[in-house]
Structure 1
């Protein structure tokens, strides 16, 4: 039977830093690649294309990251359940760091011809592959090593991404400013090299975080032959995976449809100032960063069900008035909508990892949690802007988009309610047990006083 050595539990501070650094590097790479795809990659990797075709090809490579995530969730999920959380996370993080460094050092089309865009696609695929296992693994390390009653708060640290977004924007702006006309030739590489430095810091933080006692004990008590196969995991736990699909899917549809299509609609059709819109989104990102740990604390204090369902209710309430309010053309209203959406998204995101993790035993938890998050993010989240535009083209009205958001948010709320049913029962039983202990204590004290 396999077993692994367990060191003393890592400090809560180190766990929090590990969670924040994970989300920072993920969001940094996400925005950086998207920005460079729009500004640079069409020129240095697809120069033989027209401007529009080159940009489209560059964004197509961006989509490969989404396609790779479900595959990564299966590969690293399986590895995390069989070999351990720490070992798997070090592999996935190393893969992410290598692919980021490789993009920063990659030869251009002028240097090696068609091999350049092919290498770019390959590295983007590796980035997506690694991200497919990062979210679940980083979340589970925090959850399984956290103090009782703080699981949701600790897991919410993995969701704080505004620091990565701000660092990415700053790195791109500074590189453009200081390299000037050389930005297209070599200046664009600097932010990717900075991303590799961030990877080294995260690697250093993670090196002393070991697998939890819960996982190690389960691993030691189970022979390799007795561990669930991937097929057995999927067939035995298909229900929570399907419900998780709608929880994550409902959340990303509300968020991606409004933030991608909504922003394009506001700036191109309604005449909103682009700079003002971007400023509003920056403010919303800050609100989200503050709201997500608060939402995690609330999930620990009351229940994940209350927080999750409330977040989806916010999305349902926003679905129909959103485009009407946007049509008012008032930037203050746009700012309010952006902050409202940030709050809704924080409530939906904060408890997800804990809710998913509780559906699976320790030796199937990584796979189930990763798949519940990565698959809908790719399938539903990645296609949300395309579906939004297709609905608009087919109907000529934003009403179809409102109905789409309403349906997905409602399905998300229903799935969240069903998925947290067992957790809700367990919490009620715990409260009853605690009440009984308290009553016995009071009764014993009373009898002792009478004697």
Structure 2
């Protein structure tokens, strides 16, 4: 069957904008929740707890969203592999943006009691479910339109959304950082959540121009899509799925240590001003973005696995120096700490989209990359701030926290070394034929 004419395909600019805008919005929503959990939710939704217990409870609520992400990746990935990438990207945008807006108008514990944290947890679960299918679809809508030699560059489009989400979420909180503590806790924390409405409308306008790539469109027209993508994925590529999931742990482990845990640790244990930390993290995003560009270009030239392994090596080596620099209490060393951490994340982010597109077959690709990415995010992102808070509370030292993050990164390094880059483990002539779900 002939592929669509080139003129009907989205332009590179449209693909870049759709991937970037969508994931920027999703991660803006996610990061403002993490920031609010560190700065406000302990007092607003868990006031009956002690300060430390309230922070842990708020971070646990933050972690609940990560638990929902693999489920969202599996369900949304299922329909993304059967129906199409574009329609699922619209759904994920509406899910995440809508729940974020509702959090912005949620009554506090003082208003409705225990119902407030329960509603917060419910909205967080829905938000996580939506994010679970976002990254995979955003990567595929771009990378599947690219030639094999440009897949890493196209696959990196979605990755820019992560630092841009950090950038915009920090700007939103900096806009209200001048408020008194009372005003910030009373209403100031709501403003970043409510601003999500504007971002979602813009994202929907861009994504309405999208269409699925010829590779998937051809499979769909020939009825060669999988009837049960997850079952087929587990049956035919189980080792790839496990290794990809483990390899995905390091980036969120480093990222959420900086963007979530450091906001609590830096202000309470080291003595930084909240605004200072936000500005330092904000400034480091420029390095993050630059590193993604260079890593994506290097991946298309030297191979995504090699570049990703390099990033994982730096992720193992950096946590201990990162905390030592922050522990000085000086802005200069702290910025260096965050800047190198941004470089570490950028190296892996630039290679990850192309790497994951290569290793999963088109029939199960949306499911495979979504589940792997979200399982890694659950371990690296959800657990890390909680474990870090508990480790510091038990030891009184940042060394234990740094070693924990380094250990997580070592797991990813080993998995990345074992994850050979290949187009797919399923031959193309077999993947074209429909496969009935196993009993």
Would you call these one fold, judging by a TM-score over 0.5?
A: yes
Match of 1:296 in 2: 296
SS at match of 1:362: coil
Q: In structure 1, how many angstroms separate the alpha carbons of the residues matched to 2:188 and 2:389?
A: 34
Structure 1 partner of 2:159: 159
8 Å contact from structure 2 (residues 4, 214) kept in 1: no
Aligned counterparts, 1:330-345, within 5 A: 331-345=331-345
Match of residue 104 from structure 2: 104
TM-score, reference length from structure 2: 0.83
What does residue 429 of structure 2 align with? none
Are 1:196 and 2:213 matched, yes or no?
Answer: no
Equivalent residue pairs, number: 421
Correspondence 1:251-330 to 2 at 5 A: 251-257=251-257, 268-269=268-269, 276-319=276-319, 321-324=321-324
Change in 2 beyond 3 A, CA 1:110/1:321: closer
- 1:350-392 C-alpha deviation (Å, 9 max, x unpaired): 1112211222221200000001100111123321233345556
Q: Is the 8 A contact 1:100 1:195 kept in 2?
A: yes
CA shift at 1:9, angstroms?
Answer: 0.8
- Alignment deviations for residues 67-121 of structure 1 (CA, whole Å, 9 cap, x no partner): 1111111111111111111111111212122212322333445655543332222
1:4–1:182 CA distance, 2 compared to 1 (3 A): farther
**In 2, distance between residues paired with 1:278 and 1:176?**
9
Identify unmatched segments of 5+ residues in structure 1.
425-451
Q: What are the ranges of 5 or more consecutive residues in structure 2 without an aligned counterpart?
A: 425-439
* 1:257 Cα offset (Å): 4.4
Q: In the alignment, which residue of structure 2 is the partner of 1:169?
A: 170
Mapping of residues 411-426 of structure 1, within 5 Å: 411-422=411-422
Larger mean Cα displacement after TM superposition, 89-98 or 4-13: 4-13
How far off its partner does 1:183 sit?
Answer: 5.6
The whole-number CA distance in structure 2 between the counterparts of 1:369 and 1:347 is 18
1:137 maps onto 2:137 in alignment: yes
The 8 Å contact of residues 59 and 385 in structure 2, kept in 1 or not, is answered as no
Larger Rg: 1
The answer (yes or no) to whether the contact 1:250–1:408 under 8 Å persists in 2 is: yes
Q: Which residue of 1 aligns with 2:71?
A: 71
TM-align CA RMSD:
3.5
What residue in structure 2 maps to residue 33 of structure 1? 33
The answer to whether the 8 Å contact 1:6/1:210 transfers is no
Whether the aligned pair in 1 keeps the contact of 2:258 and 2:338 (CA below 8 Å) is no
User: Could you tell me how far apart the structure 1 residues matched to 2:325 and 2:175 are?
Assistant: 36
- Equivalent residue for 2:427? none
Return closer, same or farther for 1:48/1:4 CA change in 2, 3 Å cut-off.
farther
Q: CA deviation at 1:146?
A: 3.0
CA contact (8 A) 2:70 2:375 kept: yes
Q: Displacement of 1:311 after TM fit?
A: 1.2
**Counterpart position of 1:95:** 95
Measured in 2, the distance between the counterparts of 1:395 and 1:36 equals 26
Shift of 1:316: 3.2
Matched ranges for 1:206-285 at <5 A: 206-222=207-223, 227-257=227-257, 268-269=268-269, 276-285=276-285
Counterpart secondary structure, 1:363: coil
- Residue 5 (structure 2) pairs with residue 19 (structure 1): no
CA contact (8 A) 1:244 1:356 kept: yes
Decide whether the 8 Å contact of 2:46 with 2:57 is kept in 1. yes
Distance, in Å, in 1 between the alignment partners of 2:248 and 2:133 is 16
Alignment partners' CA distance in 2, 1:418 and 1:180: 49
TM-score (normalizing by structure 1): 0.81
